[in-house]
Amino acid sequence: MYESRQYHYKKEFVENLKKVYLESGASHVISKKDLISAFDNPSRGYSIGRQEHGLFVTSIAEDNAHLHDDKGALKALQEIEEIKGVDKGKYNDGAYQFEYDATLTKTINQLGFIRTANGDTPGASSLNIPGCQTFAGKNIQNSESELIFLSIDVKGISSKKVLAAIKSKGYYEIVNPKIITPKGERKQVDGHFKIKLLEARK
C-alpha cells in the first residue's frame, strides 16, 4: 500500500506525459448527478473540480481510444465504469464528458498549473499515483495517464441551461472560462471548455 505522502517525478517524465494533453486536450467523465451538483450545489463552490484542488483528468486522445471500440461505438457504461475505476452503477443516469480543448490546456500549462497527483492530494487514491496512471485492475491495458487540471468557475450558470443546450445541440461550451488557481484566485483565460453527453465518435 502506498503511503499518504509526496511522490516526486522527474521533470522530463512529466513533460513527456503532458505531450498528448497539449495536442488533444483533457477529458473527465462524470455522472449526470455530479454534473448537476457542480452547477447547483453551493457547498461545491459552483465549480467543476474541487475548487483550488483541481480536477483529475485524462487526455482526450486516451479517452477516445479507451471508451470506444474499433468502430467508434461507445462501450457499455458498465465497461466504462470499470475503465474509470468508479462504483458500479455510477453512470446509470448517463455519462457526460468535460473537455478542456488544446488551447485551454496550453494556457493552463503556460501558467504552470498542470499538476501530478500525490499520496496526500485530496481525492487521490493511493492506487492511482505511481507512474501517474489510473488503476485498471487486472485489465491493465485500460490504464490511462492522469493529471490534475485547474477547476472551472461556473457560478451563475444553471445545470438546466447546460442540459438544455446539450439536448438541443449536443454540447454546452464556455468560451474563455474562469479558472480557479491553487490559491483560490479566479481569473479568465483563453480557451474553450466543453460539456457533452458521452457518445459514439463521429
Nearest C-alpha neighbor of 149 from the set 66, 48, 67: 48
Q: Where are the domains of the chain?
A: 11-197
Sheet order of strands, 178-180 included: 47-48, 151-153, 178-180, 186-188
Cell numbers at 82, concatenated: 470499470
Query: Whole-model pTM?
Result: 0.90
Nearest C-alpha neighbor of 82 from the set 103, 94, 97, 67: 67
- The 10 Å Cβ neighbour count of residue 55 is 23
CA angle 59, 129, 15 (to 5 degrees): 50
pLDDT tens, N- to C-terminus, the chain (202 residues): 345 567 778 899 899 999 999 999 999 999 999 999 999 988 888 999 999 999 999 999 999 988 998 888 999 999 898 888 888 999 999 999 999 999 999 999 999 999 988 767 776 666 556 567 776 666 667 777 889 999 999 999 999 999 999 999 999 999 999 999 999 999 999 999 999 998 867 6
Total number of residues shown for the chain: 202
Q: Which residues of 106-130 are buried (b: 16+ CB within 10 A; e: fewer)?
A: bbbeeeebbbbbbbebeebebebbe
- The 10 Å Cβ neighbour count of residue 27 is 23
Tell me which H or E stretch contains 26. strand 26-31
